[in-house]
């Protein structure tokens, strides 16, 4: 979504960082480049003026002139101001003190309200709630049927007492004789809230009708639904791909209906992203959620600071960690840790489990794009083929259980059979086995406390120096004591050192210490962590 904007800002800041000191002309040139980049991204003009004005004021002030690195200080200012125009703080749903919480979805036709209702319902269900979808869009052809299908896929019940428009007739609100009646959306919404209260649902999501343009009847209907249901949240669903037109519509809804927040859809598209950067400032209401794909799970809470990090190519590691926590099963992680400590080899069975977890995280391109600095590798990311996972999985599944556990037993005839069974060439099977052998070697090296093969060893580990081909110094073999008691004590101490080295290697490799805490002697009280990162430390 923000590729073009991100690329231009990255080039601007790269040129800025080459300067040891900044003059007023340097700041003005940077502001001009930022303004052009934002306007090209279709950001609303008032937002651009406000944004660049605040950056100019701060960049010409004392906080930059007295900074040790002025260029980095300007980047910091841009990041903070970008977070501000995206809404500032992350805002959660306001849940009613007395259930059910009523959430009303409003927006133009085609913005993705019905699909988003299912995504929001699934997200709330995963959070421990019991949502109910209410089909109050009785005018768009087959809207009720679509919501029922979406609700079924998400595993969320749907309240739909009216069939709505099933004839393909243009059912825009009309007056006069001959108007086809499809039921009253306000009555359906009110009955839906009563149904939720009677059956113990704690959240109601009302899917309302949209229009191709803002009109009086739409506003009146949406306003009546909000009043009659006493909606706790009115979320304006905005298509992030239609630029400033969406922002103007959002402002009209904010004035006519009174929205409490926005939801961005189609954030995975290739549009310039001006709507996302404008809607919070123009409407005065925050963005709560973002839809990032076509599947029901492609839905996330909108974090202004993380989105700013993505735009400025600083990455979004926190979201990546959260996705990994959801995708990787805790029992599987414990089993991998056990195998590592027991010096058992990594097998193709383990490989399949890890691949399945990565698939649950979503698109590999999207995950890699969350890493800092990856915008500079755009060409490589674009060339990455997600279907390579499917080809690799096909090869692994063409193996017998014995072959998956003992890859060394795969000889020439077995390789030919695997290639034929998975529809690939023998050379591709050979490449997979070679890469897998390298991965096993790396795991063994790390388990012993050394570095990765061909790389320097990790600081603080025994055997630092890695698996390089350099000549190693021969180690003197220690003589054993003739005293049986002393020899037993020496052997016990050696075993304890070996176990400690293995635990240390595991901690360095997988981000955990032997006890899950900091190494002895290190004071981490003053460690500067990214905002929100502390929750991943489990209070340690």
**pLDDT tens-digit readout, 469-485:** 444 444 445 556 667 77
Residue 287 near residue 87 (C-beta atoms within 8 A): yes
Residue 109 near residue 140 (C-beta atoms within 8 A): yes
Would 481 be classed as within a structural domain?
no
Phi/psi of residue 290, each to 5°?
A: -140, 135
CATH code (residue 182)? 3.40.50.300
Q: What pLDDT, on a 0 to 100 scale, did the predictor assign at position 374?
A: 57
Would 538 be classed as within a structural domain?
no
Helices (H), 230-374: 244-256, 274-283, 304-311, 317-327, 330-341, 348-361, 364-369
Q: What pLDDT, on a 0 to 100 scale, did the predictor assign at position 117?
A: 92
Q: Are 111 and 254 within one domain?
A: yes
Q: How far is CA 344 from CA 30, 338, 436, in A?
A: 55, 9, 15
Q: Are 307 and 270 within one domain?
A: yes
Q: What pLDDT, on a 0 to 100 scale, did the predictor assign at position 509?
A: 44
As a whole number, mean pLDDT of residues 205-222 equals 79
Q: What pLDDT, on a 0 to 100 scale, did the predictor assign at position 107?
A: 83
As a whole number, mean pLDDT of residues 111-137 equals 91
Domains contained in the chain, number: 3
Q: Pairing mode, if any, of strands 287-291 and 299-301?
A: antiparallel
**Which sign, positive or negative, has the C-alpha torsion 194, 198, 202, 207?**
negative
Q: Are 26 and 119 within one domain?
A: no
Q: Are 290 and 325 within one domain?
A: no
As a whole number, mean pLDDT of residues 279-307 equals 84
pLDDT cut 90: percent of the chain above it: 16
Domain final position from 447, 473, 502: 447
Residue 116 near residue 105 (C-beta atoms within 8 A): yes
Residue 117 near residue 205 (C-beta atoms within 8 A): yes
Q: Are 51 and 111 within one domain?
A: no
Q: Are 309 and 373 within one domain?
A: no
Q: Are 406 and 387 within one domain?
A: yes
Would 254 be classed as within a structural domain?
yes
Would 510 be classed as within a structural domain?
no
| CA-based nearest residue to 503, from 449, 438, 422, 436 | 449
C-alpha to C-alpha distance for 529 and 540, rounded to whole angstroms:
13
Q: What pLDDT, on a 0 to 100 scale, did the predictor assign at position 124?
A: 93
| pLDDT per position as a tens digit, 249-277 | 777 888 878 889 888 888 776 556 677 77
Q: What pLDDT, on a 0 to 100 scale, did the predictor assign at position 3?
A: 67
| CA-based nearest residue to 220, from 228, 377, 347, 212 | 228
In this predicted structure, the answer to whether residue 416 has a pLDDT above a threshold of 60 is: yes
Helices (H), 448-534: 484-510
C-alpha to C-alpha distance for 279 and 482, rounded to whole angstroms:
81
DSSP 347-368: -HHHHHHHHHHHHHH--HHHHH
CATH code (residue 73)? 1.20.120.140
> pLDDT grade, residue 214 (50/70/90)?
low
Q: How far is CA 455 from CA 284, 437, 468, in A?
A: 52, 16, 6
**Which sign, positive or negative, has the C-alpha torsion 346, 351, 357, 361?**
positive
Could you tell me the end-to-end alpha-carbon distance of the chain, in angstroms, rounded to an integer? 37
As a whole number, mean pLDDT of residues 99-113 equals 87
Q: What pLDDT, on a 0 to 100 scale, did the predictor assign at position 339?
A: 64
Would 284 be classed as within a structural domain?
yes
pLDDT cut 70: percent of the chain above it: 66
> pLDDT grade, residue 458 (50/70/90)?
very low
| E strand intervals along 154-275 | 158-159, 203-207, 233-239, 261-265
pTM for this structure?
0.61
Phi/psi of residue 66, each to 5°?
A: -100, 5
Q: Are 64 and 121 within one domain?
A: no
> pLDDT grade, residue 157 (50/70/90)?
very high
Residue 220 near residue 175 (C-beta atoms within 8 A): no
Q: Any long-range contacts for 243-246 (C-beta under 8 Å, 24+ apart)?
A: 243/42, 243/271, 243/272, 243/274, 243/275, 244/42, 244/43, 244/44, 244/274, 244/275, 244/278, 246/108, 246/111, 246/275, 246/279
Q: Are 12 and 119 within one domain?
A: no
Q: What pLDDT, on a 0 to 100 scale, did the predictor assign at position 191?
A: 93
Q: What pLDDT, on a 0 to 100 scale, did the predictor assign at position 67?
A: 62
C-alpha to C-alpha distance for 298 and 368, rounded to whole angstroms:
16
Would 113 be classed as within a structural domain?
yes
Q: What pLDDT, on a 0 to 100 scale, did the predictor assign at position 511?
A: 42
Question: Going edge to edge, which strands form the sheet with 299-301?
Answer: 158-159, 131-135, 203-207, 101-106, 233-239, 261-265, 287-291, 299-301
In this predicted structure, the answer to whether residue 512 has a pLDDT above a threshold of 50 is: no
Would 234 be classed as within a structural domain?
yes
- Taking each continuous run of H as one helix and of E as one strand, the counts in the chain are 22, 8
Domain final position from 269, 293, 313: 313
Q: Are 76 and 181 within one domain?
A: no
**Which sign, positive or negative, has the C-alpha torsion 357, 361, 362, 363?**
negative
| Lowest-confidence segment of 36-40, 252-256, 316-320 by average pLDDT | 316-320
C-alpha to C-alpha distance for 94 and 91, rounded to whole angstroms:
9
| Lowest-confidence segment of 24-28, 112-116, 275-279 by average pLDDT | 275-279
Q: How far is CA 162 from CA 109, 156, 225, 293, 412, in A?
A: 20, 18, 16, 30, 64
Q: What pLDDT, on a 0 to 100 scale, did the predictor assign at position 540?
A: 42
261 beta partners: 235
Residue 377 near residue 349 (C-beta atoms within 8 A): no
CATH code (residue 344)? 1.10.260.30
Q: Are 251 and 335 within one domain?
A: no
| pLDDT per position as a tens digit, 73-83 | 788 888 888 88
Computed over every residue of the chain, the mean pLDDT equals: 74
Domain final position from 432, 447, 462: 447
Give the residue, 467 or 144, on which the prediction is more confident: 144
| CA-based nearest residue to 250, from 291, 217, 222, 284 | 284
Q: What pLDDT, on a 0 to 100 scale, did the predictor assign at position 369?
A: 61
Q: What pLDDT, on a 0 to 100 scale, did the predictor assign at position 105?
A: 92
Would 57 be classed as within a structural domain?
yes
CB atoms within 10 A of CB 455: 14
Instruction: Tell me the residue range of the domain where 71 lies.
Output: 3-85
Q: Are 264 and 163 within one domain?
A: yes
| pLDDT per position as a tens digit, 227-241 | 999 899 999 888 877
As a whole number, mean pLDDT of residues 148-157 equals 92
Q: What pLDDT, on a 0 to 100 scale, did the predictor assign at position 515?
A: 40
In this predicted structure, the answer to whether residue 457 has a pLDDT above a threshold of 50 is: no
Phi/psi of residue 238, each to 5°?
A: -120, 130
9: CB partners within 8 A, 6+ apart: 34, 37, 78, 311, 312, 313
Residue 367 near residue 320 (C-beta atoms within 8 A): yes
Q: What pLDDT, on a 0 to 100 scale, did the predictor assign at position 102?
A: 94
Q: What pLDDT, on a 0 to 100 scale, did the predictor assign at position 415?
A: 92
């Amino acid at each position: 979504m923000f590729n073009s904007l991100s690329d231009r800002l990255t080039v601007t800041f790269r040129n800025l960082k080459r300067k040891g000191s900044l003059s007023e002309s340097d700041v003005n040139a940077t502001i001009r480049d930022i303004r052009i980049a934002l306007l090209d991204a279709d950001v609303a003009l008032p937002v651009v003026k406000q944004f660049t004005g605040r950056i100019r004021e701060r960049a010409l002030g004392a906080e930059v002139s007295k900074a040790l690195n002025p260029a980095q200080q300007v980047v910091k200012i841009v990041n903070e101001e970008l977070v501000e125009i995206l809404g500032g703080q992350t805002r959660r749903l306001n849940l009613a003190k007395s259930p059910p919480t009523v959430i009303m979805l409003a927006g133009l036709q085609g913005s993705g309200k019905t699909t988003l209702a299912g995504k929001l319902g699934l997200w709330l269900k995963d959070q421990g709630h019991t949502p109910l979808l209410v089909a109050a869009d009785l005018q768009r052809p087959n809207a009720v049927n679509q919501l029922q299908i979406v609700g079924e896929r998400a595993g969320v019940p749907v309240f739909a007492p009216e069939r709505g428009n099933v004839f393909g007739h243009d059912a825009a609100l009309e007056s006069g004789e001959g108007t086809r009646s499809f039921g009253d959306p306000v009555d359906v919404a009110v009955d839906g809230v009563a149904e939720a209260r009677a059956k113990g649902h704690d959240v109601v999501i009302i899917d309302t009708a949209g229009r191709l343009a803002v009109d009086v009847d739409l506003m009146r209907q949406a306003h009546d639904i909000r009043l009659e249901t006493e909606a706790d949240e009115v979320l304006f669903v905005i298509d992030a791909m239609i630029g400033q037109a969406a922002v103007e519509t959002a402002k009209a809804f904010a004035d006519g209906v009174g929205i409490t927040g926005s939801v961005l859809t189609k954030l995975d598209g290739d549009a310039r992203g001006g709507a996302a950067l404008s809607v919070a400032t123009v409407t005065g209401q925050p963005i709560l959620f973002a839809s990032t794909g076509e599947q029901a799970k492609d839905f996330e809470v909108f974090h202004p600071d993380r989105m700013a990090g993505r735009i400025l190519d600083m990455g979004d590691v926190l979201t990546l960690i959260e996705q990994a926590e959801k995708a990787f099963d805790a029992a599987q992680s414990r089993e991998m840790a056990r195998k590592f400590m027991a010096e058992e080899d990594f097998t193709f069975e383990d490989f399949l489990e890890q691949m399945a977890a990565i698939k649950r995280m979503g698109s590999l391109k999207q995950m890699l794009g969350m890493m800092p600095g990856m915008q500079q590798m755009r060409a490589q990311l674009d060339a990455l083929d997600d279907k390579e996972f499917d080809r690799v999985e096909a090869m692994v599944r063409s193996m017998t259980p014995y072959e998956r556990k003992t890859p060394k037993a795969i000889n020439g005839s077995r390789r030919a059979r695997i290639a034929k069974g998975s529809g690939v060439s023998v050379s591709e099977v050979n490449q997979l086995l070679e890469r897998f052998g390298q991965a096993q070697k790396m795991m063994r090296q790390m388990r012993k406390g050394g570095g990765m093969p061909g790389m320097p060893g990790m600081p603080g580990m025994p055997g630092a120096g890695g698996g390089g081909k350099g000549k190693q110094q021969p180690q003197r073999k220690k003589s054993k004591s003739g005293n049986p008691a002393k020899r037993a004590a020496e052997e016990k101490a050696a075993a304890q050192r070996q176990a400690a080295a293995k635990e240390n290697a595991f901690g360095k490799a997988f981000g955990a210490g032997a006890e899950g805490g900091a190494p002895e002697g290190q004071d981490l009280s003053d460690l500067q962590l990214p905002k929100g990162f502390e929750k991943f430390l489990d209070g340690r």
